[in-house]
Structure 1
Amino acid sequence: MPSVSAVPPAMPPSRDSVVSTLRTAGCVFAEDEAELIFATARTPAEAAAMVERRVAGLPLELVVGWAEFRGLRIAVEPGVFVPRRRTEFLVEQALARGPGSTVVVDLCCGSGAVGAALAAALGRVELHASDIDPAAVRCARGNIAAVGGHVHEGDLFEALPVALRGRVGILAANVPYVPSDEIGLLPQEARDHEPPAALDGGTDGLDVLRRVAAEAPRWLAPGGCVLVETSRHQAPAAAEAFERTGLVTQQAVSEELYAHVVIGVRR
């Protein structure tokens, strides 16, 4: 974003002045962002400080401290991947394929948004989430605790309790899938304010996905499913990775959200 002067913190900002400042800074949805800032800030000074951080380029979710995800307010903090609206499609697909699931795992959980949304929709479930990033784990613990879940720190399945093997009904894995040489093409907000490990999927973007596919059958209950988000052009290779491990593979697409989900089901 271009550098512009924010609303002076010494004077209470008006809605019109905030909208004007945000629009000048390049915020396409300036009116909506202003409303959210005013709804979140507890004082005029806090609102002015939020506007200043937004103008400096901080993602809106990190400015206000939360992101909306399937009707939930998910706490987010600097250094943690911000949940995207398109990932709500992954949750919808999981619920459609495992409506009676009692054991749910949110792998590469980031803020824990996916796990929290699944637990909120399913009711009483045994929920486990994991991430390799300590900042994500700290953030997820607050969000997952609200629905009675457990968060573990570590590399993929290594972080999970061994007792979960063969019992998981829904395994949601929002793995990083951006090819390494395309990281520089991402929006500046993502490049500058989100952890590279949550974005970089290796040479073709599927390195972490293949590791998940290789291990998933050992953790799924009979009829259980693993779901990953990917891009349109990566989906066939992702499906092939699941098929090689013996999973029955399906694909789901939302043109509206530009979301692509690959599902593997244990026979």
Structure 2
Amino acid sequence: MQEFPPPLALSAIVTTLRAAGCVFAEDEAALLCSTADGPTELAAMVDRRAAGLPLEHVLGWAEFCGLRIAVDPGVFVPRRRTEFLVRQAAALAPERAVVVDLCCGSGALGAALTASLSGAELHAADVEPAAVRCARRNVGDRGTVHEGDLFAPLPRTLRGRVDVLLANVPYVPTGDVALLPPEARIHEPRVALDGGGDGLDVMRRVAAEAAGWLAPGGSLLVEASERQAARAEEALGGGGLIPRVVVSDELYATVVIGTRPR
């Protein structure tokens, strides 16, 4: 087990992180100390974090749904609020579910969902090569990760068979990207953040094709902001799905679910 530095040294790390604007400096210092391989690596990690690199990129991992998910530099960091989407998906998944994770990033959603299911078949896809490499590490032998835009790289044999379609698409309006915290704006790929004019461009593309991939009774799950929920419902309904919105006040999460009629 990694030993922590002396209290005075730990205090100095906390002070450095707090001065850099880290709100949870004590918790972050503890994580850095427990992850670093020695004093030299610890000092380098503290410097990278103080310079604004996301904590998860410094550590090389993020905790998500009880799993330690590898997160490489330049890959979208899974947010805790998205655990709510995974829980909703788990409640809908049948036995031996066929699961697709679009815009998969690190592969966190698909990996977490299939870890909670028995005998699931998982396919994930992302357009970013760095994300695909990272997702393949996290998915491992649970499924297959494809490189390409949305549905394009998926096997055609999945059409009409997908029970759960996870699509954590970018949904930040283009005009709001500049308002994001520097950690996201600078260090995460813009393609994983920018959802177009009203934030729903990619979601509409997914909704337009989803019914052709879903099994009867299968569901598409997407995350949105509270103010986008009504338009997201319209998008899923326009794609031939029966839409509904579920909200977690605890996690400040809004998930829109569209189900293909049986």
Shared topology, TM-score over 0.5?
Answer: yes
**Do residues 103 (structure 1) and 98 (structure 2) align?**
yes
Q: Which residue of 1 aligns with 2:51?
A: 56
Match 2:214 to one of 193, 207, 220: 220
Q: Secondary structure at the match of 1:150?
A: strand
Q: Which residue of 1 aligns with 2:22?
A: 27
Q: Which residue of 1 aligns with 2:41?
A: 46
Q: Contact conserved, 1:101 with 1:169, CA < 8 A, in 2?
A: no
Q: Secondary structure at the match of 1:156?
A: coil
Return the alpha-carbon distance in structure 2 between the equivalents of residues 159 and 13 of structure 1.
53
Return the alpha-carbon distance in structure 2 between the equivalents of residues 123 and 74 of structure 1.
20
Q: Which residue of 2 aligns with 1:209?
A: 203
Q: Contact conserved, 1:13 with 1:48, CA < 8 A, in 2?
A: no
Q: Which residue of 2 aligns with 1:250?
A: 244
Q: Contact conserved, 1:81 with 1:195, CA < 8 A, in 2?
A: yes
Alignment TM-score, normalising by the size of structure 1: 0.93
The count of residues paired between Structure 1 and Structure 2 equals 256
The amino acid of 2:243's aligned partner reads: T
Return the alpha-carbon distance in structure 2 between the equivalents of residues 126 and 174 of structure 1.
19
The amino acid of 2:119's aligned partner reads: R
Q: Which residue of 1 aligns with 2:10?
A: 15
Map 1:121-200 onto structure 2 (within 5 A): 121-145=116-140, 147-200=141-194
Query: Offset at 1:71?
Result: 0.5
Q: Which residue of 2 aligns with 1:260?
A: 254
Q: Contact conserved, 2:96 with 2:119, CA < 8 A, in 1?
A: no
Alignment TM-score, normalising by the size of structure 2: 0.95
Q: Which residue of 2 aligns with 1:229?
A: 223
Q: Secondary structure at the match of 2:152?
A: helix
The amino acid of 2:57's aligned partner reads: L
Return the alpha-carbon distance in structure 1 between the equivalents of residues 249 and 175 of structure 2.
25
Return the alpha-carbon distance in structure 2 between the equivalents of residues 20 and 232 of structure 1.
36
The amino acid of 1:219's aligned partner reads: W
Return the alpha-carbon distance in structure 2 between the equivalents of residues 122 and 250 of structure 1.
24
Q: Secondary structure at the match of 2:206?
A: helix
Query: Offset at 1:101?
Result: 5.0
Q: Which residue of 2 aligns with 1:239?
A: 233
Q: Deviations over 1:174-229 (max 9, x none)?
A: 00000101101111111110000000000111100000001000110111100000
